[in-house]
Structure 1
Amino acid sequence: MAASDIRPGFVDNWQAGKTVAECNRRMFDTEESCDVTFRVGSSGQVIKAHSYVLISRSCVFHAMFTGSLAERSDVSVPEIEPSHFRQCLLYLYTDDADIDADNATGLLYASRKYDITALELKCLDFLKMHLSVDNACVILEAADRFDEKQLYQEALTLVKNEGEQSLLSSGFLALSQQFVDEILESDDLAAREHVIFTAVNNWAEAECGRQGRAITPQAKKSILGDTLMKVRFPLLKSAFLEDEVKASGLLSDSERRKILDYRDNPGNGVHPFNTKERTANIKLPMHYVHRYRTETLPCVRNSSTHSISFSTSNDVMLLGYQLYGPHTPSGVSFYNVTSTLDYEDADPNAMIHDAQKYEVNEDTFDVLWEKAVAISANLWYTLEVEIRGHYTCCGTGGREQVACDATNVIFNFRNSNQIVNGTRVTQGQIPALIYCPA
């Protein structure tokens, strides 16, 4: 209501029915009677506030605006984003803040700066509850900056355990070099070396951009320095060394030849390159549980889906499974294989979904996943396999229960709810599961 529309003696009682928080929020939003001006962020955006509210809620603001050391009512805060600063002030006015993935670390910084303990705890709780592989790198650096040791360790553990996804996240590209080094030098980083190399190369290119430098091999090598040697180049496949590494320009021809020569003559040494296998990637001992007693005539056409359900008496790590190959091996046959594993009758959020191409010249071949899957005892799982390629053999004389004496694990099998193309307990494809004890 405009001032000219107010009748004589009429008072705009906007406060009626509102809580203290609601009244404070209106005063903040309308900037009525504000006596403090903040110029926030690199742009100096103006945000106005009431010194009484700030003084009553923060000892830092109390010191800023009272006593002999009181500042002027015009305060510069260039290091905090305006949206984050506004949310921080709103918390002081209302005891409430909209904390999300985009502002949690910014609000944490602001709450630390102005000693707003309750908001700080809310931010930390949010980060702990929402820690994921997609934001673990961001939270890792924030936890270090704020000396939150437990949160730091939780984030670092997640980064290493989910190594490949972490290294390929946008958060990794934004890390400072200190944290890149800490992650890459870990023996227990669960990532293949070619993924690690790709992440390092991507990070170097991102850092060139931050420093305003052209992306050249010389610039990347200059920026990386000792970080480049965190990549364990002797563990890379020869083809990757000759293609991707060569194209990056991060190793000289002589350095690549030295590594290739080491492959043929390990006694020559390959200093200063690290040859140690990362422990997370050391292959687990494989055991096979075979379902069938016999192998029969061709059973699978060139495009088909097969499934079987199983449970185990003990916790195990499922490494993959075995398939029958061509029924008349002659040269190499090619198969495109897609694997899906999930709890039986569960939502369609597969524990694993893997697609690979195989060159086969044997009666059977192994389908091994890049990462083992934890199988819990006495739960039923369903493995579904799509095979595209030549005709294959099938097995008969299948068993509902197989005891593996070497590991004291009992496997139980039953027909899945998705029986297609004849694979079931008694006959069909998927002759064996490949596992190791948990």
Structure 2
Amino acid sequence: MIFVTTETLAKHYDRRLSTVITQNVMSFKEDAAPTIVDCLRQMFRTSAHSDFAIEVIPPASDSETRQTFSVHKCLIACRSNIPVKSERHIIHDTSPILFDTLLQFIYTDEASMTKDIVVPLLHLSRKLNVKGLEAECFNFLINRLTFPDVCMLYEEARLSQRDDVKEMCKEKITENPSIIQTSSFLTLSLGGLKELLSMDDLAVDESVVFNSVMAWARQGCEKKSLDVTSKNLREVLGDTVFTVRYIWLTDEFIGSVVAKSGLLDNDELSELLEIKLSGKFPSGRFLVQKRNWNENAENDVKILFRFLEIRNFEDCGFWSCDGDSLDAIALTVSKPILLCGVTLYGPRETKSGLYQVLLELRNGTECVQKLKIQMLMKKSSLTNLIRFSEPVKLFAEHKYDIVLRLKGPGTYYGALQNAEMFMSMQVDGCTEFYQPDIPRFNQDGVVFTFSNSQLGVGGRTDVHMGQIPEILYKVPVQDNTEKSLK
């Protein structure tokens, strides 16, 4: 079913059918030599010499009224899969205004598109097999692609069997793997989820993959009106549960998170632990291939992504970077880490922007690290990296403040904390899940806890929204409990 609001469409399109033109007259300027396109465009506008009727009935929830379009059977038969054997055809659950746009393309190879209607138009063109319009919709989406839309575009490419677009999306995800921690990732179908998580080049820690799979499964339960229990989570995932490379998770993470989630049953957990202890990798349900990025895991810089969504204040401006306000967030870790840097969102309205950046890491009254730089940030990147010249050691259970002063064009911002989106509890012998009250992340055996900083002045960054979306860190070798698998 195709849903799009009347208000959105009417904002961008004229109701051409309301124009009263004599049906049997196709008039052109006397001195003009009309082309075939001119004639087809005039036929579309006037319905001159029409021999077929298409009645379009909108969804019951839509305020539009049904409309009948007088068209030309030959063109409809050549350019779509609409049956033309009779004198009339009815299309249900479709916006008449949206259909008018599709009809314009059938006649003229032209269609006025905006980002508000391009996805519903793509769905309609796929439903009615208007291939040229389907391709135009993809071109529109690709040319205006932002990283939060990559998963949506990937899913549309799957439905249209556009392998070229799928590969482009995979490249984008390889370049910006934190996409799997955003809300757009949760919109994937089960098939799309399985395909993306099977990528060997997905450059994230396996604990991030597990948490993202759990987030997707929780939403899957909600879509099906199922209670969020371990049994139902497993049911909505099916064999996609084994796209997680459990063998490369730390023993601590398996014990404290995986086992408590109930996603694997006791026999599967026993098999997993036996494989890890033996160091032998038999072929079976547990994938043993290590993701390509992670050949030297103890030396790799890890990424912690704070937010589920990237927003742009489409209706109420953008994230202000006036150079006077201070955005700040407080961070506590359960084990020592080496903080390597942070990332910032880039400009919303321009392709790139020059920014004055002042970044401080504070431990109480002490300034542990300070960077004052000028940097060019790009809109095409999901996030822009600021790396410290040397990693800074953060000690366990110390509260640190990350303070940012940013001057430049308005930016995107993050929203909805991407904390452990589930915590488990046993109820009548079953594992059930609930939302935590504080933004806490368990990654690489380290618990990261964020809180609102008292050092923010005029800035709006907090645990729920704002700047500083990613933390880059290393786990010191002596603190990494992962056993080497030979």
TM-score by length of 1: 0.54
Q: Residue 204 of structure 1 is aligned with which of 195, 212, 217?
A: 217
Q: Distance in 2 between matches of 1:339 and 1:259?
A: 42
The answer to whether the aligner puts 1:47 opposite 2:67 as a matched pair is yes
Correspondence 1:88-127 to 2 at 5 A: 88-92=102-106, 96-111=110-125, 116=130, 118-127=132-141
Q: Unaligned 5+ residue runs, structure 2?
A: 1-18, 30-37, 302-362, 376-384, 413-442, 444-452, 454-473, 475-486
Q: How many residues align?
A: 311
Q: Distance in 2 between matches of 1:114 and 1:261?
A: 53
Q: Unaligned 5+ residue runs, structure 1?
A: 1-11, 288-299, 312-316, 351-369, 371-387, 389-433
Q: Distance in 1 between matches of 2:259 and 2:300?
A: 35
Partner of 1:163: 177
Contact in 1 for aligned 2:79/2:106 (Cα 8 Å):
no
Task: Please report how far the alpha carbon of residue 203 of structure 1 lies from its aligned counterpart in structure 2 after TM superposition.
Answer: 2.4
Contact in 2 for aligned 1:59/1:115 (Cα 8 Å):
no
Q: Distance in 2 between matches of 1:253 and 1:153?
A: 37
Q: Which amino acid aligns with 2:207?
A: H
Contact in 2 for aligned 1:40/1:78 (Cα 8 Å):
yes
Partner of 1:431: none
Partner of 1:338: 402
Partner of 1:302: 365
Task: Please report how far the alpha carbon of residue 144 of structure 1 lies from its aligned counterpart in structure 2 after TM superposition.
Answer: 2.8
Contact in 1 for aligned 2:77/2:83 (Cα 8 Å):
no
Correspondence 1:254-293 to 2 at 5 A: 255-256=268-269, 259=272, 265-267=277-279, 272-283=285-296
The answer to whether the aligner puts 1:132 opposite 2:146 as a matched pair is yes
The answer to whether the aligner puts 1:71 opposite 2:86 as a matched pair is yes
Partner of 2:196: 183
Bigger drift between 75-84 and 146-155 goes to 75-84
Correspondence 1:270-419 to 2 at 5 A: 272-283=285-296, 302-304=365-367, 306-307=370-371, 320-322=388-390, 334=398, 336=400, 338=402
Partner of 1:143: 157
Q: Residue 59 of structure 1 is aligned with which of 60, 70, 78?
A: 78
Bigger drift between 215-224 and 276-285 goes to 276-285
The answer to whether the aligner puts 1:153 opposite 2:167 as a matched pair is yes
Task: Please report how far the alpha carbon of residue 154 of structure 1 lies from its aligned counterpart in structure 2 after TM superposition.
Answer: 0.6
Secondary structure in structure 1 of the residue aligned to 2:66 = strand
Task: Please report how far the alpha carbon of residue 230 of structure 1 lies from its aligned counterpart in structure 2 after TM superposition.
Answer: 1.0
Q: Which amino acid aligns with 2:70?
A: H
Query: In the TM superposition, what whole-angstrom CA distance separates every residue of 1:131-158 from its partner, at most 9, and x where no partner exists?
Result: 3322222222322332323212112222
Partner of 1:36: 53
Q: Structure 1 residues 48 and 337 mapped into 2: Cα distance closer, same or farther (>3 Å)?
A: same
Contact in 2 for aligned 1:143/1:149 (Cα 8 Å):
yes
Partner of 2:434: none
Q: Structure 1 residues 282 and 169 mapped into 2: Cα distance closer, same or farther (>3 Å)?
A: farther
Task: Please report how far the alpha carbon of residue 252 of structure 1 lies from its aligned counterpart in structure 2 after TM superposition.
Answer: 3.1
Q: Distance in 2 between matches of 1:260 and 1:114?
A: 51
Q: Which amino acid aligns with 2:78?
A: C
Q: Distance in 2 between matches of 1:113 and 1:325?
A: 56
Contact in 2 for aligned 1:136/1:166 (Cα 8 Å):
no
Q: Which amino acid aligns with 1:88?
A: L
Contact in 1 for aligned 2:174/2:201 (Cα 8 Å):
yes
Partner of 1:393: none
Secondary structure in structure 1 of the residue aligned to 2:173 = helix
Secondary structure in structure 1 of the residue aligned to 2:86 = coil
Task: Please report how far the alpha carbon of residue 178 of structure 1 lies from its aligned counterpart in structure 2 after TM superposition.
Answer: 2.3
Q: Residue 223 of structure 1 is aligned with which of 214, 217, 236?
A: 236
Q: Structure 1 residues 250 and 146 mapped into 2: Cα distance closer, same or farther (>3 Å)?
A: same
Query: In the TM superposition, what whole-angstrom CA distance separates every residue of 1:282-310 from its partner, at most 9, and x where no partner exists?
Result: 448789xxxxxxxxxxxx98244622559
Secondary structure in structure 1 of the residue aligned to 2:178 = helix
Contact in 2 for aligned 1:184/1:230 (Cα 8 Å):
yes
Query: In the TM superposition, what whole-angstrom CA distance separates every residue of 1:54-101 from its partner, at most 9, and x where no partner exists?
Result: 755762469844xxxx3232x233475655434313445776534234
Secondary structure in structure 1 of the residue aligned to 2:200 = coil
Task: Please report how far the alpha carbon of residue 337 of structure 1 lies from its aligned counterpart in structure 2 after TM superposition.
Answer: 5.7
Query: In the TM superposition, what whole-angstrom CA distance separates every residue of 1:229-288 from its partner, at most 9, and x where no partner exists?
Result: 11112333444333433443202356446655766x34476874334431124448789x
Contact in 1 for aligned 2:186/2:215 (Cα 8 Å):
yes
Q: Which amino acid aligns with 2:152?
A: V
The answer to whether the aligner puts 1:251 opposite 2:315 as a matched pair is no
Q: Which amino acid aligns with 1:139?
A: L
Partner of 1:398: none
Q: Which amino acid aligns with 1:133?
A: F
Query: In the TM superposition, what whole-angstrom CA distance separates every residue of 1:290-338 from its partner, at most 9, and x where no partner exists?
Result: xxxxxxxxxx982446225599xxxxx9864326779xxxx97946263
Q: Which amino acid aligns with 2:175?
A: N
Contact in 1 for aligned 2:56/2:95 (Cα 8 Å):
no
Alpha-carbon RMSD: 5.1
Contact in 2 for aligned 1:133/1:166 (Cα 8 Å):
no
Q: Distance in 1 between matches of 2:405 and 2:235?
A: 45
Q: Which amino acid aligns with 2:255?
A: E
Partner of 1:87: 101
TM-score by length of 2: 0.49
Q: Distance in 2 between matches of 1:301 and 1:218?
A: 45
